Amino acid sequence: MTTQSKSVNVPQSWEAFAWKWMRYSGVILFLLAGVHVLIQDVLVGVYEIDINYVAGRWSGGFWRVYDFLLLFFAFSHGMNGARQVLTDFIHSAGGRRALNWILFIIWAVITIWGTVAIFAFTPPAG
C-alpha cells in the first residue's frame, strides 16, 4: 500500500502572514512570559520590586532588550487577535481596511511609546 501526499498551495497574503504570526508569536510569548513570571513573581517576589530594582535590572542592556521583546510580542499578538475578532463584525472590504490601519497606528504608537520608556529610562538620582 502506498501513500500519496498532496501539496496545497497557500496564497501568500496579509491574512496568511497574520495567521502564522499568531502561532509563532504565541510560542515565543509563552517562553518570554514564562521566564518573566518565574523571575519576577517566584524568585524575586512582587513585594521586592520597586524603582531601585528596575534601575538595577536595567543597568545592563540584556533586560531592556528582553522587556522590549516581551512588549513587542505580547502587544502585537494581542492586537492581531483583536483585529481578527473585530473583522468578524465588519463585512465590507473598506471597513476592514480602515480597521487594519487604525489598529496598526494604535499598535505603532503604543509600541514606540513603550520602547522609549524602556530604553530612555534613567533612574532618579538619589
Look up the CATH number of the domain holding residue 103: 1.20.1300.10
In-domain check, residue 28: yes
Residue type, 91: H
Residues 78-120: pLDDT tens digits?
Answer: 999 999 999 999 999 999 999 999 999 999 999 999 999 999 9
Query: Do residues 57 and 63 touch, judged by C-beta distance below 8 A?
Result: yes
Which candidate, 87, 109, 88, places its Cα nearest to that of 98?
87
In-domain check, residue 33: yes
Q: Is residue 126 pLDDT above 70, yes or no?
A: no
Share of the chain above pLDDT 90, in %: 62
**Domain containing residue 22:** 15-120
Residue located via cell numbers 481596511: 97
Half-sphere exposure of 14 toward its Cβ, with a 13 Å CA cutoff? 8
3-state secondary structure of 39: helix
Q: CB neighbours of 113 closer than 8 A, spacing ≥ 6?
A: none
In-domain check, residue 6: no
Separation CA 123–CA 126 (nearest Å): 9
In-domain check, residue 35: yes
Whether the predicted model's global pTM rises above the 0.85 cut: no
3-state secondary structure of 99: helix
Q: Is residue 54 pLDDT above 70, yes or no?
A: yes
In-domain check, residue 72: yes
What is the number of domains present in the chain?
1
Cell numbers standing for residue 90? 465588519
In-domain check, residue 99: yes
